[in-house]
Every structure is written in C-alpha cells, then in structure tokens.
Amino acid sequence: MVASVGRRMELSWGGVAIPGVREKGMAVAGEPIDVTSDEDDGWRILLSEAGQNQVDLSLSGVTKNDRLKRDFFDGTRTKAAVITFPDGATLSGQFFLASYTDTGPYNDAMTFEASLQSTGEVVYTPAS
C-alpha cells in the first residue's frame, strides 16, 4: 500500500458513515497459544494458530449528531462496521460499541471518542 491521506480511510457503522470523524484507528491482535514443555529446553513454543483473534477500532472527531450515543444508551451496541482503506481494501464484520465519550471544551467544538470491538469473524478483502 502506498502512502495516503488518513481522511481517505472511511468507517461505516450500521451501513451509515458517522459524520464529523477526524481520526480512525485499527488494532489487530491474536492471542498466542503456549505449548512449551520440558523437552523444549527452556524455549517458548507457540502454536502457529491464535487462540483468539480480535480487531479493535477507535474513532474520534467533532460531534455532529448523537447516533453513537443513542445506540449506546438504546442498547443497539452491536452493528456491522466496515472500514474502507484508501486503496479500496475493506475490513468488515460485526462490532460492539464498547465505549463512547463526549467532551465539551469551554470555548471550542464538542468532540467525541468511541471504541468498537469485533464480535465474530472479521473479513479483510484486499484491494483489487
């Protein structure tokens, strides 16, 4: 993937883009399975398959509507999310709205932060 402008990375939540987003982040992790035993002479041995995979998404920006806050309090906290990367690749799956924060500085725009955690399989589709 070549260098690109961060604002070209798009996130949709429940099929709709969240307005006001300035920053998006993605963290992918796989929990290793340790199968080390005495015959490994003190060297750790990990299986090549992860015990649990997860994708965490973070976003922040200027508050332009209350969709995420409404979903959090309505209990509609699991929805389809899709990240589209600048090169056309996508990451899609069901995500749980784990946290939501509003911040209202005295003399500046109200901002928000949210974190989404994958629930179930997440599919990465490379750009064509």
pLDDT 10s digits, 86-117: 999 999 999 999 999 999 888 888 999 999 99
Return mean pLDDT, the chain: 93
Is pLDDT larger for residue 108 or for residue 57? 57
**Cα(102)–Cα(111) distance, rounded to whole angstroms?**
6
| Alpha carbon 124 to chain centroid, angstroms | 13
**b/e for 59-73, b at 16 or more Cβ within 10 A?**
bbbebeeeebbebbe
Q: What's the whole-model pTM score?
A: 0.87
In one-letter notation, the amino acid at residue 20 is G
Q: Is the pLDDT of residue 1 over 70?
A: no
**CATH no. for 6-125:** 2.30.110.20
Say which residue the tokens 């995979």 belong to: 53
The DSSP line for 18-34 is PTTEEEEEEEEEEE--B
